[in-house]
Amino acid sequence: DTGVSQDPRHKITKRGQNVTFRCDPISEHNRLYWYRQTLGQGPEFLTYFQNEAQLEKSRLLSDRFSAERPKGSFSTLEIQRTEQGDSAMYLCASTASGTAEQYFGPGTRLTVT
């Protein structure tokens, strides 16, 4: 296993379109996180899954955002009706229960024009 992977690496979309990102965590990790990073800021927490259950969502996650983790494996993050303010790097991380370190994927860079 080579680590956390994310697809696509880059996405350019027009305002109002829907986009979906995928994250494949490290296979034995049951915890999966989505973060968002904008220029000059550190990553900010969006949402968390333990296995297939979404257990926490940040107030940053508006109702245009939805995330799933069917069967507790890969996860998807969908943004509906994108806005220019959604332009950011979307990062996925995974870890095992009882472990502090989270391992990040390469991220998906979203640009909304």
Partner 1 sequence: DQQVKQNSPSLSVQEGRISILNCDYTNSMFDYFLWYKKYPAEGPTFLISISSIKDKNEDGRFTVFLNKSAKHLSLHIVPSQPGDSAVYFCAAKTQGGSEKLVFGKGTKLTVNP
Q: Does 1 bind partner 1 (CB under 8 A)?
A: no
Q: Which is nearer to partner 1, 66 or 96 (CB)?
A: 96
Size of the site for partner 1 (CB under 8 A): 25
DSSP string, 20-41: EEEEE--TT--EEEEEEE-TTS
DSSP 8-state code for residue 63: T
Give residue 30's region: left, alpha or beta (phi > 0; psi -120 to 50).
alpha
- The contact pattern for partner 1, residues 91-110, with x = CB under 8 A and - = no contact, is x-x------xxxxxxxx-x-
Contact residues: partner 1, CB under 8 A: 4, 6, 31, 33, 35, 40-45, 48, 55-56, 91, 93, 100-107, 109
